[in-house]
Amino acid sequence: MITRKVLCIALLIAAAISPLFAGGSQETAETGEPTSVVVCINESPWLPAFRDIAKQYAEETGITVDIRAFPFATMSERGLYAATSSESEFDVITMNESMAAKFYHDGLVAPIKQIQPGYVLDKEVMTYDGLNYWDQELKYPAMSGELYSFPVNGNIQLFYYRKDLYDAAGLSKPETWDDVVNAAKVIADPASNFYGYAVRGQKGHMALGWDFYPYLRGFGGDIFADAPKDFTVTMDTPEALAALSFYADLAHNYAPPGSSSIGQSEQIAMLAGGQLLQTIVVAGANAQMDDPKMSVVPGAIAYTVVPRPVGGVHASHTGVLSMGIPDNIDAARKKRAFDFLVWFTSQSVQQTFAEHGGVPIRTDAMNTKGEDSLRFLTAIQESADATVAYPRIAAWPRIDEVIESRLSEVVADITSPAEALALMQVEITDIVVDEGLL
């Protein structure tokens, strides 16, 4: 049950990440030249940081960044629509990890060499396993391919927990899921609306599945045998069953009532509202934790690597957002968009982005400067060897629908973990066969 206090905090968070619906690209009366770069982006915890950086760009260049912010799933729909129309309304399209492959595969974003021949990303920009490159032969994002986009927010999953309460109970930061469960048993008090854990249960676009993936990988399972080389589906395995059974246990025994209605914004609101002991949340939510306008527990939340099962491995799902330049705009608009993205991914700008609550995409922009407000960067660095990613294939939206539906049934206690995995095995296999991947 979510209290009125938490709902108020959720509304404040929603206000902080609400979209800016501006008009179309403006032009100077004298030259007819556009004076803005129009960006399609998602509403998110890191959007305020992006807005701050956009203001800085306008101050430095005289070119405004016209931010068009949409809910996560709507962003993908609007981006696809714009990129497949006669001329895109956007100069820059934000793509999530799995959707990027479709944009590359279908030729919807321009290869960077078309805009600036010979350009290469700075060596300090993180590669995220080739996310921003497209290998035409593999039909998969890989460093062996051509550069198609820029990473713009290096979101990964971090484990958020109430360090003040852990310390008071004499508990060390959690290393394993057993530590997490033990802390929930020792500290949580459901009778006072204070809960030990919260998984996502709200079906969405890369929502539940994204939340569940680190459990699957941590317990030794995966969706495919060896993507992109082997797309044999591996959902109905003992490892996957152990992972989903544990996930269901967290949802049914340690989470607030009504887990099926919990999404990322509710997780963030419960943490900031002092109603939740711990959970996995994107790194980009860090700014809300210490803001007294949004949090009743500023300074109390600590961040660490996503815990592992005893005998298993740490796994932190990446949620990197990339920006591509639509192929269906003219050369002048492409160049203007390119110039903005090169500036945005520079070292000084990325460090400022981090200081405003964004998640930098450069290794040389991780300086905490000894500031407590940047302590999340340490957890990101510690998670570097534990990151995992969904298979980045053009067919992923279809597969995601299956995973979201079946996981939501498990959280709602409609379908058992074993039944859900058996169904996913069949349904995902049908899709990969239909897509020619098997």
- Residue 141 and residue 143: Cα distance in Å, rounded? 7
3-state percent helix, strand, coil for the chain, nearest multiple of 5: 45, 15, 40
Which pLDDT tens digits describe the chain residue by residue (438 residues)? 555 445 444 444 444 433 333 334 444 434 456 589 999 999 988 899 999 999 999 999 999 999 999 998 899 999 999 999 999 999 999 998 888 999 999 999 999 999 999 999 999 999 998 999 999 998 899 999 999 999 999 999 999 999 999 999 999 999 999 999 999 999 999 999 999 999 999 998 889 999 999 999 999 999 999 998 999 999 999 999 999 999 999 999 999 999 999 999 999 999 999 999 999 999 989 989 999 999 999 999 999 999 999 999 999 999 899 999 999 999 999 999 999 999 999 999 999 999 998 999 999 999 998 999 999 999 999 998 999 999 998 889 899 999 999 999 999 999 999 999 999 999 999 999 999 999
Residue ranges of domains in the chain: 34-154+320-381, 157-317+395-434
Cα–Cα distances (Å) from 103 to 84, 222, 302, in that order, read 10, 24, 37
Q: How confident is the model over 280-293, as pLDDT tens digits?
A: 999 989 989 999 99
Residue type, 253: N
Topology of domain 157-317+395-434, CATH: D-Maltodextrin-Binding Protein; domain 2 (3.40.190)
157-162: strand order across its sheet: 278-282, 157-162, 301-304
Q: What pTM was computed for the model?
A: 0.86
Q: How far, rounded to the nearest angstrom, does the alpha carbon of residue 112 sit from its chain's CA centroid?
A: 24
Among 187, 208, 416, residue whose Cα is nearest residue 300: 187
- Tell me which DSSP letter residue 200 carries: -
List strand residue ranges (DSSP E) for 224-347, in order: 224-226, 230-233, 278-282, 301-304, 316-317, 321-324
Q: Is 31 exposed, middle or buried (0-12, 13-18, 19+ CB in 10 A)?
A: exposed
Q: Which architecture characterizes domain 34-154+320-381 according to CATH?
A: 3-Layer(aba) Sandwich (3.40)
Is 365:353 a contact under the CB 8 Å cutoff? yes
Query: Same topology for domains 34-154+320-381 and 157-317+395-434, yes or no?
Result: yes
Q: How confident is the model over 148-167, as pLDDT tens digits?
A: 999 999 999 999 999 999 99
- Residue 81 and residue 103: Cα distance in Å, rounded? 11
